[in-house]
Amino acid sequence: MAAPLLAFIFSLLAIASTVRGYNITKILANYPDYSSFNSYLSQTKLAEEINSYPTITLLALNNDAMASFAGKRQLSVVKKVLSLLTLLDYYDPESLHQISEGTTLSVTLYNNTAGNAPEYLGYVNITDLYGGQVAFGSAVSGSKLDSYFTKSVKQIPYSISVVEIDAPIIAPGILAAPAPSPANITGLLENAGCKTFAKMLAKSGVLKKYESVIKKGLTVFAPSDEAFKAKDVPDPTKLTKANMVSLLEYHALAHYKPKGSLKSNKNKVSTLATTGAGNFDLTTSTSGDEVVLHTGIASSRLVHTVLDATPVVIFTVDNVLLPTELFGNSHSPAPVPALSPAEGASPTAPSPSEPPTDESPESSHSNSSKGLANSKSANAAVAVSSPSLFTALVTLATIAVFQLVETF
């Protein structure tokens, strides 16, 4: 009886170790051949986003491959290519050679920002070729399979798999560098349905403040035109110039913080309006794959990524961010509209009046041969409390140990 019980204990502890998550930066730090690849994952903030997913396959490039590709390319271009090398599914060397019917399409992190790009741009074609080779290429029609699996690097079963390929996957148009110049910030905002916000930035002069930090990093939370029509939003024409400036500065950060970074954030976030510790800051929480910003008065959800081109990221948000420093508690918190299950929300979103809590976002993805789920279902997220699961598993293991002791 002791042997089966011991096996059960060890299996529980093994599972418990995996639910604690992983840190891709620490994993790759053990492999000097991928130091350049690892460095770029950190510089582009992709490492933080990778760590937020429960299941990932990373197609890693060694230092020689990175040197021939990255060179003098803009960081925003490097990020796009590396995000295309991040598959939101688990493939170890064995499963790569056992693909049903020999070929499949896998969704990648790049699909999250592909927008109205060509069909399948955010997907990778994986094909098990004759002779034992596995090839990778863009899923866009007419693309070549010119990247090949070379070796296994590291696997944490059904959590993360790192395998090496010999060359980057270059999808059509992916090397084009969007220019995040200060001149087109207002144009991008207007096209995204944030004309009121863009007009206020230009008229108040705060746009120049945004421009002054753009080289070091800029994150913008732009309320939609509809957000300014909400009943609890103060009339901008009745604000003093100083308060208007503070309000607009409160909608931006002086550093690059893409969605993945916000999802993993657990600290208060300083804004351009912050002048000292604890004032004009934001807190964040997650609801599935959604990120919610909390001001102390109301909550606002990230709706759409207008631009993510390192070091600039612009989001639209569904509510105007109202700092307590300007508006106190005179305004009732605006409820965050609940998303339908089809849009990937968890059954209950956190109440804006409750302290924010961070949950580990998870995505549900399945291998499909010659099939392709639409981007929403492929990226559907399920919130899972890993610490609670870890505690439960350890408790079960402890009980099993006591039972083992009692048998002797």
Encode pLDDT of 223-269 as tens digits.
Answer: 999 999 998 898 888 899 999 999 999 999 999 999 888 988 889 99
In angstroms, the CA 59 to CA 124 distance is 11
In angstroms, the CA 143 to CA 124 distance is 10
Percent of the chain with pLDDT over 90: 51
Are 151 and 213 in a shared domain? no
Give the residue numbers spanning the domain of 93.
22-165
Task: Cite the DSSP H helix spans in 227-338.
Answer: 241-249, 259-264, 324-327
Residues 197 and 316 sit within 8 Å (Cβ to Cβ): no
Residue 163 is predicted with a pLDDT of 98
Residue 205 lies inside a defined structural domain of this protein:
yes
Are 204 and 336 in a shared domain? yes
Sign of the dihedral through C-alpha 73, 79, 84, 86: positive
Are 189 and 334 in a shared domain? yes
Mean residue pLDDT of the chain comes to: 79
Domain boundary among 327, 343, 359: 343
The pLDDT-based confidence of 394 (bands split at 50, 70, 90) is very low
User: Mean pLDDT throughout 399-407?
Assistant: 47
Are 37 and 75 in a shared domain? yes
Residue 139 lies inside a defined structural domain of this protein:
yes
Residue 14 is predicted with a pLDDT of 43
Residue 149 is predicted with a pLDDT of 97
Bigger pLDDT: 365 or 218? 218
Are 33 and 144 in a shared domain? yes
Q: Summarize pLDDT for 36-88 with one digit per residue, the tens.
A: 999 999 999 999 889 989 999 999 999 999 998 887 788 888 999 999 999 99
Are 34 and 63 in a shared domain? yes
Residue 330 is predicted with a pLDDT of 53
Residue 117 is predicted with a pLDDT of 59
Are 337 and 194 in a shared domain? yes
Residue 392 lies inside a defined structural domain of this protein:
no
* Phi and psi at residue 282, to the nearest 5°: -125, 155
* Phi and psi at residue 86, to the nearest 5°: -110, 100
Residue 383 is predicted with a pLDDT of 33
Are 155 and 212 in a shared domain? no
Are 105 and 217 in a shared domain? no
Residue 45 lies inside a defined structural domain of this protein:
yes
Q: Summarize pLDDT for 80-118 with one digit per residue, the tens.
A: 999 999 999 999 999 999 898 899 999 999 987 655 556
The total of structural domains in the chain comes to 2
Cis bond upstream, residue 93 (ω within 30): no
Residue 224 is predicted with a pLDDT of 95
Residue 203 lies inside a defined structural domain of this protein:
yes
Does the pTM surpass 0.75? The reply is no
Residue 72 lies inside a defined structural domain of this protein:
yes
Bigger pLDDT: 274 or 363? 274
Residue 353 is predicted with a pLDDT of 36
Are 228 and 338 in a shared domain? yes
Q: Is the model's pLDDT at 222 over the cut of 80? A: yes
In angstroms, the CA 154 to CA 151 distance is 10
Residue 181 is predicted with a pLDDT of 54
User: Mean pLDDT throughout 378-394?
Assistant: 39
Domain boundary among 321, 343, 365: 343
Domain boundary among 284, 311, 343: 343
Q: What CATH number corresponds to the domain at position 115?
A: 2.30.180.10
Are 104 and 33 in a shared domain? yes
User: Mean pLDDT throughout 19-34?
Assistant: 88
Residue 310 is predicted with a pLDDT of 83
Residue 385 lies inside a defined structural domain of this protein:
no
Residue 175 is predicted with a pLDDT of 86
Specify burial of residue 374 (Cβ count, 10 A radius: 0-12, 13-18, 19+). exposed
Residue 199 lies inside a defined structural domain of this protein:
yes
Residue 371 is predicted with a pLDDT of 39
Q: Summarize pLDDT for 142-188 with one digit per residue, the tens.
A: 999 999 999 999 999 999 999 999 999 999 988 876 555 545 889 99
The residue whose two tokens read 């390192």 is 310
Are 124 and 196 in a shared domain? no
Q: Summarize pLDDT for 333-384 with one digit per residue, the tens.
A: 444 444 433 333 333 333 333 434 333 333 333 343 333 333 333 333 333 3
